[in-house]
Structure 1
Amino acid sequence: MRSLPVLLLLGLASVTVGCATPLSTMQTAKTLSPGQVQVTGSMGVFVPVGTLVDVVDVGIDQGREARDAIEEGRPYNLSEEDQQRLLTAGIALVVAPPGVNPELMVRVGIVDGLDLGGRFSGNSLRFDGKVRLAHGGEAKNRSYDLALGLGVSKHLFSGAVLDVLEVVQLGDFNRFDVEVPLYLSAEYGDVFKLYGAPKYVYSHTRMDPQLVDFSQQGAPVTGFDVSLPTSVSSHFVGSTVGFALGYRYVHIYAELTGGYVICKPDLFGAKRNLGGVTFQPSIGLAFRSPGARPPASAAPAAPGTVAPPSI
């Protein structure tokens, strides 16, 4: 049996991917023209505000307890409740740590009103589609669009810790996300775009069965429950707001995604609240190919001329 610190490290490493997920949008509601391609490289910073606030609060409370114990000349002992708070705060911080998420996205217009895309974010692959629901305003050199999207992500597991310890095979983990965004945007010519995207994301991670069995055997050795759940689910509800600035086929994107993560697994003998308020600011650079031109036969004839008959 491994020592408790190693077992905890394994558990935390396994559920680190259970509740955090890339949240960027980097697209407007306007669908690409058939055959049109857009490539976007972006960088986002994941900031779990709720988790960070909880960690700071626990640290402040325990600092006061330690100071009072020293001033009163009594030993400083953690109560069971304080131990649970510290453990939960530490787990939450490891599960959803602040960090930078690089992404590369490629989108292609399929038919009028529908485009499809794929995105690679270092530890996951995401495929999605976007269907136009409403479009208008072209006569005034601006457009307003509404579209509904659906995305599915598959996470790629790798990590030196689990490989070195040779306790589990990483292929035995299974993580997927389902995202449903509603895109709204206004585009002013080829220069400025303003967009928003309320979204819901469901995430589900199935743990490695061998690791779950291994953790359940730890109680007789460690003296307390260190068991891991067979699966972890989380829910994100929030929205993205952003803008793009550029000209014709090149635009710089800047956006902010904010919302609330709900994630309450049974972990180490108790139900842990690992969610909270989350923000992710992102910036990106998008390159878009020219849209398909109308066929020559569809072009209007010049004034005073007669169009040749079609053959």
Structure 2
Amino acid sequence: MNNPFSLHSFLRPAAALAVATLLMDTSCTAPRAIVATGKVTPQGEFRVGYNQGFNIATAPLSKAGAAVRDAATTAANKDTVGYGGSVKNLQAAALAYILDPVQPTADLSIRYGILPRLDAGYKYAFGSHVFDAQFQLLGPTGSPEHPGAGAASGTTYASIGLQFATQRAKLPSIPFLGDINSVLNFKATRNDLLVPLIFSQSFGPEEEIGAISYGVVYAHSWVNYGFAPDNVYLNTQKIPALPNQSRDFSSYGAFLNVKLGYRYVYVIPAVSIFYQNYGDYALLNGASTSLSGVTFVPSLGFQLRIPTK
């Protein structure tokens, strides 16, 4: 996949190389691109969509330098690995990737208008299962064929959403992450809750030709993880496995998207930005690490509206 952003202009060469490596993987992550508008799906209608994005997170980039990649390759080729700073760095890199991977993202979605101001839907993010609902706070509830009272170009809409995603997280089998996993035997699961507050201005009555949308997002994530290496030693003592650990953290973000089309088919370019302090995480042999960072999520979506009346 071609990355439309020139990371080389603002990342160190080592980090840019890490991005190129991670681009080879398409494993799942909970979708955080906001492509909805303030207007919910009209009652009785369906919307189906496809969204392609890219998750660019600073935390894994900062942990994926050349020294870490070389250490992962060296450790993976040894029968026994001595515990030290390099093993701690490998654990931090694994955690950073699971918490906020640098990778392409994609999802297929379907939504249905349940009530005049309420819709709900399901997204499949190629391994992550996502359920969400959206309640419209402001604006008419008609359709392009049957506009509601006050519907016009420039009409303001507002809504609040709730999205829940669950997935079994894992490191992909690519260098250098595959090497890290072969050494550390890392396992993790995660659940994510996303609450966007969305405002939009309609292009045409009832978004007949689209809308511009913007707002803020709160997210909360729960992560369970553990390390169970088979051949990591401190002197002659085998390092015991790290039992299952539970952590959670909040993210705060903002977004902008533009919906363009006519009545039935739309294209939606969007961008979101998040900040998160992931917190402290226990590592093998009583060590720990702290992570924080910013995440950029550019995306391009396609939406098909299916009237049923």
What is the TM-score of this pair, normalised by structure 1? 0.66
Of 185, 190, 202, 2:220 maps to 202
Q: Distance in 2 between matches of 1:50 and 1:158?
A: 17
- SS of structure 2 residue aligned to 1:149: strand
* 1:29 alignment partner, one of 38, 41, 51: 38
**Secondary structure of the equivalent of 1:91?**
helix
Structure 1 residue 104 corresponds to structure 2 residue 122: no
Judge conservation of contact 1:92–1:273 (CA < 8 Å) in 2.
no
Deviation at 1:91, TM superposition (A): 3.5
Task: Find the counterpart in structure 2 of residue 8 from structure 1.
Answer: none
Moved more, 83-92 or 43-52: 83-92
Give the structure 1 partner of residue 164 of structure 2. 152
Provide structure 1 residue ranges, at least 5 long, that are not aligned to the other structure: 1-18, 60-79, 293-311
Matches within 5 A, 1:198-237: 198-207=216-225, 214=228, 227=242, 229-237=244-252
Higher helix proportion (structure 1 or 2): 1
User: What does the per-residue CA deviation read over 1:55-93, in whole Å, with 9 as the maximum and x for residues that have no partner?
Assistant: 56x96xxxxxxxxxxxxxxxxxxxx8x758844663355
What one-letter code is carried by the residue in structure 2 that aligns with 1:182? L
**Contact 2:60–2:93 under 8 Å retained in 1:** no
CA contact (8 A) 2:159 2:199 kept: yes
Q: Residues of 1 paired with 2:172 and 2:256: CA distance? A: 36
Q: CA–CA distance in 1 between the matches of 2:240 and 2:275?
A: 29
1:133 aligns with 2:117: no
The residue aligned with 1:288 is 305
**Deviation digits for residues 94-150 of structure 1, max 9, x if unmatched?**
333321111001110001100001111012111111111111693533321111111
Q: Give distance in 2, aligned partners of 1:160 and 1:281.
A: 22
**1:184-235 CA distances to partner (integer Å, 9 max, x unpaired)?**
111111223111231111111234xxx66x4599666566676355223232
- TM-score with structure 2 setting the length: 0.66
1:116 corresponds in structure 2 to: 120
Aligned length: 243
| Cα distance change on mapping 1:217 and 1:110 into 2, 3 Å | same
Counterparts of 1:1-311 in structure 2, within 5 Å, are 21-53=30-62, 55=64, 86-87=89-90, 90-91=93-94, 94-95=97-98, 96-135=100-139, 138-156=150-168, 174-189=189-204, 190-207=208-225, 214=228, 227=242, 229-264=244-279, 265-268=281-284, 269-290=286-307, 292=309
3-state SS, counterpart of residue 90 of structure 1: helix
Measure how far apart 1:25 and its partner are: 1.7
| Bigger mean CA deviation after superposition, 23-32 or 139-148 | 139-148
User: Structure 1 residues 216, 266: CA separation in 2 closer, same or farther (over 3 Å shift)?
Assistant: farther
For structure 2, the 5+ residue unaligned runs are 1-27, 68-83, 141-148
Query: Once structures 1 and 2 are overlaid, which stretch shifts more, 46-55 or 115-124?
Result: 46-55
Q: In terms of Rg, which structure is larger?
A: 1
> Aligned partner of 1:46: which letter?
N
Identity of aligned residues (%): 23
